[in-house]
Amino acid sequence: MSNIKGKGHCQSCQIRHLSIFAQLPIDRLVEIQVFQPSVVVYAPDETVYHQGDSALNAFTLRKGLIKLTKTLPNGRTQIVRVLRTGDLFGFDGFANEPYNHTATPLSEIEVCRLPLGELMELKKQNPEIENTMMRRWIQHLREAEDMMLELGAKKAPERLASFLIRWCEGTGGSWVVLPLSRGEIGELLGLTIETVSRFLSDWKRQGFLNEQRGSIQIQDVDGLRKMACASGNC
């Protein structure tokens, strides 16, 4: 089961600069030190919450990666987002709604569990928090729109190529950890495991990219980019 590691102390938090408390002035941090959210650890075979659960806590991801998924009654699954360190998630309760998706670790993770009531109070009293959260919601919305374009208007190789390029963005051709199985990449892009496997194999053979147990390296971004937009230059 999940494991409460202890209480978090925002003042000394290593990842505060990535969190919704990033913009908060130091003196406010001292004042809110009564706020000590639980730091919780989950294994990859657990879930942080399930779609439909009532949303009593929001969370900040401290370590590892999380996938947010939605599942149809017939079992088909869609990954709607992959979270990284500092991301806030599970805030549906702010709109009085139950969680709209399931949060599952992609590796051992550590999260900061923020009780909704307390977070609401902090937000009310600290405009910086409010502001940072707003910015992030708008940013998420933009990313969601981008994803809809990917899913609705692109073909398999285009989706896969632009996913890989985005994943490795800004790493200048070096090795990047990609802790997603073929099946999970498929669930993210609306493709089957076989289709993902075929294109990856193809591209490895063509020398566009390299792979080694859970890490990839893009060797020819332009080659991949051509795949990402078979007709027209995206």
For every residue of 163-188, DSSP letters joined together read HHHHHTTTSTT--EE----HHHHHHH
Residue 84 touches which of its own copies, DNA, none (CB < 5 to 8 A by kind)? Answer: none
Residues that bind its own copies (CB under 8 A): 68, 70, 72-78, 80-81, 91-92, 94-97, 100-101, 124, 127, 130, 133-135, 137-142, 144-149, 151-154, 187-190, 229, 231-234
Sheet containing strand 3-7, strands side by side: 3-7, 38-42, 109-115, 57-63, 88-89
Q: Which helix (H) or strand (E) holds 144?
A: helix 127-153
Query: Smallest gap, in angstroms, from Cβ of residue 187 to DNA?
Result: 10
Task: Give the nearer residue to its own copies in terms of CB position, either 7 or 155.
Answer: 155
Query: Smallest gap, in angstroms, from Cβ of residue 214 to its own copies?
Result: 24
Residue 5 touches which of DNA, its own copies, none (CB < 5 to 8 A by kind)? Answer: none
Task: Give the nearer residue to DNA in terms of CB position, either 13 or 191.
Answer: 191
Task: Give the nearer residue to its own copies in terms of CB position, either 13 or 159.
Answer: 159
Q: Are 62 and 5 in contact (CB under 8 A)?
A: no
Task: Give the nearer residue to its own copies in terms of CB position, either 14 or 96.
Answer: 96
Query: Smallest gap, in angstroms, from Cβ of residue 193 to its own copies?
Result: 14
* Own/partner pairs, 7-15, CB within 8 angstroms, 24+ separation: 7/36, 7/37, 7/38, 7/39, 8/36, 8/37, 8/38, 8/39, 8/112, 9/33, 9/36, 10/35, 13/112, 15/60, 15/62, 15/85, 15/86
Residues that bind DNA (CB under 7 A): 155-157, 181-183, 190-198, 200-201, 204, 211, 213
Residue 137 touches which of its own copies, DNA, none (CB < 5 to 8 A by kind)? Answer: its own copies
